[in-house]
Amino acid sequence: MASSSLRLSLALLAIVSVVLSQPLPSSFPAVYSNQPTGDYSPAWQEYFEVTEPLPNVSFPLPRSFAGNIDVQRAGHPNNTLFFWALETQTGSLTTNSSNEPWGIWLNGGPGSSSMVGFFLENGPIRIAADGTISPNNYSWHTVADFIWIDQPVGTGFATADAAGYIADEDQMGADFMGFLENLVKVFPSLATRPLYLTGESYAGVYIPYIMKTYFSMANPPVNIAKIAIGDASIANGQVFELLPALNVIETYPQLIGYDPAVYNYFKEQEHLCGFDINLTYPQDGIIPTVNFIDALDRDVPFFEKKKMAKRGLVAEINQRYAELEPAERDETARRRERGSWKRDLSLRANGTLDPWYGCALLPEFVDYAVNYSAPWNITQDFNVYDITDPDGSPSLSGTFLNDPRTIAALHAPTSQPWEETFEYVFGDLENDPSPEPMVFLTEFATNATAHNISVILYSGNDDSLIAHRGTEVTIQNTTFGGIQGFTRKPSTLWSDDTGKPSGIIHQERGWTYVLFNGTGHLVAAKTPVAALTFVREFVFGANMTGSVIKTPAGTDMVVGGENSPLFDDVLPGSEGIIYDAGTATSTFIYPAETIVAWNTFIRGGSATPVAQTAVEANTAWRATPCLLIAPILTGVLSLACLWLL
């Protein structure tokens, strides 16, 4: 084992040496024919206006402006951020006097272009996986003037010279404020209008650091009124990725085939890792730091403590099995072959951590699902961003954005092709060197309260990578408005514009928490109606649903009531799991008696759930037609029920 580890380490060192020996890319903004001379000013509005048609877009779009603007970093004139600004009404961005709010959207990554949000989530154009272009009637620009920004420098259409990439998040924040100083020279009314800063995922790092810079400025260039971050990686990786594992299983017990023995195993592992945090309302004291306990039986390079959540999260998940040494893969195969990992839990010492995984509980339940639980054991496909749907977190092809007609229309740079994710956000540093925002979150919250800035954190219930439990722990460990955490448990239902129940909401002392039902990491991509309702009513609006208020008698009450669908901090997920079966999209649902027995078990009843093997679960058909499939790793023929959509 030691010799194989040494060989692997040397091989990795050789690869890293080759990568680091390659020069970092350089890029620079394009200069188009009508670019004004001199400093930024309203004269640049005409230059930035998007007047040329976009390829294959046959429907009307609002007036918009796009291009690159300098971040004002000394010695780096090619360091720019790219923006695409849409008016909610013609002339609303270019007016000289307005008190209307405006919004900014940031994707995360690190290194993810905000064009992902524009085209897949909350902009007016939707690009499907097959390249089909269609209008999105739930674009957020219908609520307010909205600007999608590629940042940090080098990301998407943002540009940077080889020596100009950010060194840390503080530099990112300074760059962002430098960009905004120039942006408001072009659109002067934006300097005083209330700004609503929004984003998702790694924007949970970006936005707190942007706010840290903002609070440090005597005269910031803009007037920030509220921030809203979805599925935010504000906490460290242990809290947002690993700690919620059991909560994710309780939300989707299909992950373990509704097996109570497996559930009890994961519950024990959660306790041994210190992940069984007790949330109280109000919170009873500071929640202790959650540490990561590594595996003992192998090297797990992707779980080095300081690297947790620093690299691209999708790449992190995808490479985990590939990083195992051959001997480890053989051991995994041997365990699967004898079935000990699933069934004979007595082979694991009670009261001790599994030495194969340590506290890496997320990849452990993913491994379990793709080997033993339908339908993942059929497809060998697991989407950490959306448990219920392998296509629930689509990627954005560069075909449209790299079309020369698109580039010219958006005044985008020609020095580099657009990419969905940029590798060199921190230059030659592999990981973000800055501490997670949770280390200064109470200071941030204190400043936000002092500046009358509201904070919204929201989560998709089907996201297993940055699950909502981690967000709830982060809120309850933060002091805002002079009190630690919420004083009442989030438990108020809210509905979208169609009247469909959309999850739960809670608002207290300037902080809001929203849990979206029926969606994963990309909330607006899968539930656009609910997302638009949320943005209009709770981000830009003053809807009081879920708010804690004082009654005339002096007691507290919650607007909208406290009739939570939560059971033990769990919002039950859907019974059906979508999966791809050849050319058809199908839905797998476990037998009704299995689900009923599980519900009795998890609520502390005396009934014993049916412990089914993969074959038993799959042969308990719920509908026809059914398909005969051979799972790749188990080698066992399974009959999987298909509900064709």
* pLDDT for 615 beyond 50: no
User: pTM here?
Assistant: 0.86
Buried b (16+ CB within 10 A) or exposed e, 334-363: ebbeeeebbeeeeebeeeebbebbbbbbbb
**SS3 category, 312:** coil
Buried b (16+ CB within 10 A) or exposed e, 503-536: bbbbbbbbbbbbbbbbbbbbbbbbbbebbbbbbb
Q: What pLDDT is recorded for position 293?
A: 81
Distance, in Å, from the CA atom of 399 to the CA atom of 407, rounded to the nearest integer, reads 11
Residue 643 — pLDDT band, cuts 50, 70, 90? Answer: very low
The region of weakest confidence among 178-192, 447-461, 580-594 is 580-594
**CA distances from residue 606 to 128, 598, 603 in whole angstroms, order as listed:** 48, 11, 9
H/E run at residue 207: helix 203-216
The region of weakest confidence among 88-92, 374-378, 394-398, 406-410 is 394-398
Q: What pLDDT is recorded for position 18?
A: 43
Distance, in Å, from the CA atom of 376 to the CA atom of 618, rounded to the nearest integer, reads 12
Distance, in Å, from the CA atom of 275 to the CA atom of 362, rounded to the nearest integer, reads 12
Residue 388 — pLDDT band, cuts 50, 70, 90? Answer: very high
Q: What pLDDT is recorded for position 304?
A: 39
Residue 342 — pLDDT band, cuts 50, 70, 90? Answer: low
**SS3 category, 67:** strand
Instruction: List the Cα angle 364/368/372 in 5-degree steps.
Output: 175
The region of weakest confidence among 72-76, 576-580, 602-606 is 602-606
Q: What pLDDT is recorded for position 53?
A: 95
The region of weakest confidence among 154-158, 549-553, 611-615 is 611-615
Per-residue pLDDT averaged across 265-282, rounded? 92
Residue 630 — pLDDT band, cuts 50, 70, 90? Answer: very low
Residue 298 — pLDDT band, cuts 50, 70, 90? Answer: low
Residue 395 — pLDDT band, cuts 50, 70, 90? Answer: confident
**SS3 category, 407:** helix
* pLDDT for 553 beyond 80: yes
* pLDDT for 229 beyond 50: yes
* pLDDT for 402 beyond 50: yes
**CB half-sphere exposure, 497, CA atoms < 13 A:** 13
Per-residue pLDDT averaged across 424-430, rounded? 91
Per-residue pLDDT averaged across 344-373, rounded? 80
Q: What pLDDT is recorded for position 291?
A: 83
* pLDDT for 225 beyond 70: yes
The region of weakest confidence among 300-304, 411-415, 488-492 is 300-304
Distance, in Å, from the CA atom of 579 to the CA atom of 618, rounded to the nearest integer, reads 14
Distance, in Å, from the CA atom of 465 to the CA atom of 113, rounded to the nearest integer, reads 20
